[in-house]
Amino acid sequence: MPLIVDPSAPLVEPPARVTSPDRWLAGVVQPEWAGVVLAVDYRAGTPLPAASQVRRVRITRTDPGAAGPVPVRSADPAWALGGVGTAYDHEAPLGVPVVYTAVPVYEDGTTGPSSSLAVTVPAPVPGQVRDLWLKSLDQPSLSLRAMIVGRPEPTSTGRQDTADIPGSPYRVVAFDEHAAETYTVTVDVPPEQVDQVRALLRSGVLLAQTRPGYVVMPDAYHVPADITGPTPTGRLGASGGYQFTWTVEPVDRPATADAPMRMPGWSWDEVARRFATWDAVAASYSSWASLSTNGVL
Give residue-wise pLDDT tens across range 66-76: 899 999 999 99
Q: What percent of the chain has pLDDT over 70?
A: 90
pLDDT of residue 168: 85
pLDDT of residue 129: 77
CA angle 175, 176, 181 (to 5 degrees): 120
Q: What integer best gives the mean pLDDT of the chain?
A: 84
Q: Is the separation of the CB atoms in 28 and 37 below 8 Å?
A: yes
Nearest to 122 by CA among 194, 184, 55, 209: 209
- pLDDT tens column, 196-221: 999 999 999 999 998 887 767 789 99
132-136/206-209 β-pairing: antiparallel
Q: Could you list the mean pLDDT of each consecutive 10-residue stretch along the chain, which spans 297 residues?
A: 32 65 94 91 94 94 93 92 90 94 94 95 82 90 88 74 85 77 89 93 93 81 92 66 91 88 73 86 80 76
Q: Is the separation of the CB atoms in 116 and 25 below 8 Å?
A: yes
